[in-house]
Amino acid sequence: MESESAVTTCYRHPKVESHVRCTRCDRYICPSCMREAAVGHQCVECVKEGSRSIRQARTAFGGRISTVPAVTYVLIGLNLLAYLAELLRSSVVDRFAMLGAGLVGPDGGHYYWAAVHSSDYHAEGLVDGEWYRLLTGAFLHLPPTGGTFGIAHIGMNMFALWNIGRTVEAQLGRVRYLALYLLSALGGSVLVLLIAPDQQTIGASGAIFGVSAAYYVMARRLGADMAGVNRFMAGLLLWLVISAGLTSWQGHLGGLLAGGLVTVAYAYAPRGSRRALVQAAACVGLLAVLVVLTVLKVSALRTGAV
């Protein structure tokens, strides 16, 4: 009969008798701790250690491969929630739309920044410290009674984001894609501030133009068939011209330029361990430029206030 001292037990479960060793660390493991390996079985810890040493698959732009475009879904959801808030309370637009400099009169009405010279009016917008408008305006859209577009405004934007965003997110990965989207939205708002500071603007179009620019840059970098891509960009630029008379062309152009610059950095950053650092530095650099331009413009508007 086998002596008690000769009985071997699982290293994780000392009360469970075991006669099987992990092929990697040679420790005894019980059936609940066994994980099938190429040869024999391994323990739970060795399997985890082996997973860490396996290089994660990446896209051509350094993003983690994912089959679910979660960021695109979340962005669409946020836009729809913001639209619902507009329907429930119309004042949401005036409170959160992009606006560099405006005035609120004693009657509660909204006026252009340089239109009135009276202490009875108080400032609103970025000149009044409402910096959040730089991004919140990119999640608002025209209400159903909003003139030329109405509900078609959010419908067209979300349709475009659904179609283009999923493709771009799959290539860039979630973190890079989110940075691209937000910087494009911010770029659109900053150009509005620089050119038309007293113009109230809303819509995700600036961010979507940035995502569209990313789609074009990535296609060129990957050597894709550019015939269809060029037709897409031609339509996009045509819409940019048409939008000059209908919506904020400044927001569209600003988003297009910001998105293009970010994606050029993503696409042409040197491969290797420093690629992510170069890409992150490009995003931070663009953010710094946009912040400086914003601060300078707002300071100039405040200085010229009466």
Q: How far apart are CA 174 and CA 165, in angstroms?
A: 11
pLDDT one-digit tens code per residue, 124-163: 889 999 999 999 999 998 887 765 566 888 888 898 899 8
Q: Output the pLDDT for position 54.
A: 55
Give percent above pLDDT 70 in the chain.
89
Cα-based distances in Å from 105 to 55, 102, 108, 304 = 61, 10, 5, 19
Q: Which helix (H) or strand (E) holds 169?
A: helix 166-172
pLDDT one-digit tens code per residue, 238-270: 776 776 666 778 999 999 999 999 999 999 988
Q: How far apart are CA 247 and CA 27, in angstroms?
A: 69
Q: How far apart are CA 101 and CA 198, in angstroms?
A: 5
Q: Which domains does the chain have, with CATH numbers?
A: 4-53 (no CATH), 70-97+128-303 (1.20.1540.10)
Q: Is the dihedral of CA 39, 44, 47, 53 positive or negative?
A: negative
Residue in 98, 77, 61 with CA at minimum distance from that of residue 252: 98
